[in-house]
A = this chain, B = another copy of it.
Amino acid sequence: MDFMQEAIKEANRALELNEVPVGVVIVKDNKILARAHNLKESEKDVTCHAELLAIRQASKMIDNWRLSGCSMYVTLEPCPMCAGAIIQSRISSLYIGTFNTSCGACGSVLNLIHNPNLNSFVNVKWLYNDICSNILEEFFKLKRPN
Contacts and interface: CB of A to CB of B under 8 A. Distances in A.
Q: List the number of copies, as a whole number.
A: 2
A23 to B, nearest CB: 18
Interface string A51-93: 0100110011001110000000000000111111101110000
Interface string A29-49: 000000000001101111100
A79 B115 CA distance: 13
A124 interface: no
Contacts of A84: 79-84, 105
Q: How large is the interface on A (under 10, 10 to 19, 20 to 34, 35 or more residues)?
A: 35 or more
Contact of A115 (B40, B81, B85, B110): B110
Task: Kindly list the 7 A-B residue pairs having the minimum CB-CB distance in the complex, ordered from nearest.
Answer: A81-B84, A80-B84, A46-B88, A45-B59, A81-B85, A46-B89, A46-B65
6 contacts: A44-B64, A45-B56, A46-B88, A46-B89, A80-B87, A110-B112
Interface of A: 40-41, 43-47, 52, 55-56, 59-60, 63-65, 79-85, 87-89, 102-103, 105, 109-110, 112, 115, 117-119
